[in-house]
């Protein structure tokens, strides 16, 4: 039964009118202010994490694993 449903969904989603409807929905969804804010927040956090990681790589911590 699941295989039949998957096959139907695969064929159904290939139809141009269904695809166009999904594309239109996505455009509307990503234009919403709360979605834009969430995306901006996510990108800012990712940027900060990358920046911190790059600084750590550029200036490695000077700790030795073995104490003399």
Kind and range of the H or E element at 10?
helix 2-14
**39 within some domain:** yes
Q: For residue 62, tell me if it sits in a domain.
A: no
Asked if residue 68 is part of any domain, the answer here is no
Q: Which domain holds residue 21?
A: 16-48
pLDDT for 58: 67
Give the whole-angstrom CA distance, residue 54 versus residue 16: 44
Stated pTM of the model:
0.51
| Domain total of the chain | 1
The CA distance from 26 to 38, in Å, is: 15
Q: What is the mean pLDDT of each run of 10 residues along the chain (68 residues)?
A: 91 90 94 96 95 76 61
Any domain includes 38: yes
On whether residue 55 sits in a domain, the answer given is no
Residue 44 maps to a domain:
yes
């Amino acid at each position: 039964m699941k295989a039949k449903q998957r096959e139907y969904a695969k064929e159904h989603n290939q139809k141009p009118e269904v695809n166009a409807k999904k594309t239109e929905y996505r455009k509307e969804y990503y234009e919403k202010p709360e979605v834009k804010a969430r995306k901006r927040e996510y990108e800012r956090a990712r940027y900060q994490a990358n920046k911190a990681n790059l600084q750590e790589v550029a200036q490695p911590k000077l700790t030795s694993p073995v104490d003399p």
